[in-house]
Amino acid sequence: MSENVSVADVIAVLDDAYPPRLAESWDAVGLVCGDPQEPARRILVCVDVTDDVVEAAGAGGYGLIVAHHPLLLRGVESVAADTPKGRIVHRLIRGGIALYTAHTNADKADPGVSDALAETLGLRDVTPIDPQPQRPVDKWVVMVPEGNAEQVSEAMFAAGAGAIGDYRDCAWSVVGTGQFEAIDGASPAIGQIGERTRVDEARVEMVAERGLRTRVLAALRGAHPYEEPAFDVLEQAALPSALGLGRVGVLPEPVTVGEFAARAAVVLRTPWGVRATGPADRRIETVAVCGGAGDSLLAAVARLGVDAYLTGDLRHHPVDEALRAGGPVLIDAGHWATEFPWCRQAADLIAGATGSPVDCHDDPTDPFTVHATG
Ligand SMILES: [Zn+2]
pLDDT band, residue 41 (cuts 50/70/90): very high
In the predicted structure, residue 370 carries a pLDDT above the cut 90: no
Q: CATH topology for 113-132+242-337?
A: 3.40.1390
Q: Mean of the pLDDT values across residues 161-169?
A: 96
pTM to 2 decimal places: 0.85
Which pLDDT value is given to residue 2? 60
Q: Mean of the pLDDT values across residues 137-155?
A: 98
Rounded Cα distance between 311 and 16, Å, is 26
The per-residue pLDDT for range 312-360, each reduced to its tens digit, is 999 999 999 999 999 999 999 999 999 999 999 999 999 999 999 999 9
Rounded Cα distance between 253 and 76, Å, is 49
In the predicted structure, residue 198 carries a pLDDT above the cut 80: yes
Mean pLDDT of the chain: 96
Could you give the 3-state DSSP secondary structure of residue 192? coil
Q: Alpha helix (H) ranges present in the chain?
A: 7-17, 51-59, 84-94, 104-108, 113-120, 149-158, 213-223, 257-267, 298-304, 316-324, 335-354
**Structural domain boundaries in the chain:** 2-106, 113-132+242-337, 137-235
Q: Mean of the pLDDT values across residues 180-208?
A: 96
In this prediction, what percent of the chain has a pLDDT beyond 70?
Answer: 99
Could you give the 3-state DSSP secondary structure of residue 288? strand
Taking the centre of ligand 1 as the mean of its atom positions, its distance from the CA of residue 71, in whole angstroms, is 12
Taking the centre of ligand 1 as the mean of its atom positions, its distance from the CA of residue 97, in whole angstroms, is 22
In the predicted structure, residue 60 carries a pLDDT above the cut 70: yes
Taking the centre of ligand 1 as the mean of its atom positions, its distance from the CA of residue 330, in whole angstroms, is 18
> Of 56-60, 99-103, 131-135, 344-348, which range is least confident?
131-135
Q: How many other CB atoms sit within 10 Å of the CB of residue 317?
A: 8
Which pLDDT value is given to residue 345? 98
8 Å CB contact between 71 and 13 = no
Q: Mean of the pLDDT values across residues 214-242?
A: 97
Taking the centre of ligand 1 as the mean of its atom positions, its distance from the CA of residue 68, in whole angstroms, is 7
Taking the centre of ligand 1 as the mean of its atom positions, its distance from the CA of residue 111, in whole angstroms, is 16
In this prediction, what percent of the chain has a pLDDT beyond 90?
Answer: 94
The CATH superfamily of 2-106 is NIF3 (NGG1p interacting factor 3)-like (3.40.1390.30)
Rounded Cα distance between 135 and 155, Å, is 22
The pair phi, psi for residue 83, each rounded to 5°, is -110, 155
Taking the centre of ligand 1 as the mean of its atom positions, its distance from the CA of residue 175, in whole angstroms, is 56
Which pLDDT value is given to residue 3? 67
8 Å CB contact between 228 and 188 = no
8 Å CB contact between 28 and 7 = no
Taking the centre of ligand 1 as the mean of its atom positions, its distance from the CA of residue 172, in whole angstroms, is 46
Taking the centre of ligand 1 as the mean of its atom positions, its distance from the CA of residue 293, in whole angstroms, is 6
Taking the centre of ligand 1 as the mean of its atom positions, its distance from the CA of residue 361, in whole angstroms, is 15
Which pLDDT value is given to residue 75? 86
The per-residue pLDDT for range 230-277, each reduced to its tens digit, is 999 999 999 999 999 999 999 999 999 999 999 999 999 988 899 999
Encoded amino acid at 30, one letter = G
Taking the centre of ligand 1 as the mean of its atom positions, its distance from the CA of residue 48, in whole angstroms, is 9
Which pLDDT value is given to residue 92? 98
Taking the centre of ligand 1 as the mean of its atom positions, its distance from the CA of residue 117, in whole angstroms, is 12
Q: Mean of the pLDDT values across residues 169-188?
A: 97
8 Å CB contact between 116 and 249 = no
Taking the centre of ligand 1 as the mean of its atom positions, its distance from the CA of residue 301, in whole angstroms, is 19
Give the burial string for 79-113 (b: 16+ CB within 10 Å, else e): beeeeeeeebbbbbeebebbbbbbbbbbbbbbbbb
Taking the centre of ligand 1 as the mean of its atom positions, its distance from the CA of residue 291, in whole angstroms, is 7
The pair phi, psi for residue 246, each rounded to 5°, is 70, 165
Taking the centre of ligand 1 as the mean of its atom positions, its distance from the CA of residue 334, in whole angstroms, is 10
Same fold, 113-132+242-337 and 137-235: no
For domain 137-235, give the CATH number: 3.30.70.120
Q: Mean of the pLDDT values across residues 128-145?
A: 95
Taking the centre of ligand 1 as the mean of its atom positions, its distance from the CA of residue 188, in whole angstroms, is 64
Taking the centre of ligand 1 as the mean of its atom positions, its distance from the CA of residue 203, in whole angstroms, is 51
Taking the centre of ligand 1 as the mean of its atom positions, its distance from the CA of residue 116, in whole angstroms, is 14
Taking the centre of ligand 1 as the mean of its atom positions, its distance from the CA of residue 292, in whole angstroms, is 4
Closest CA to 248 of 293, 292, 302, 295: 302
Q: Mean of the pLDDT values across residues 152-181?
A: 97
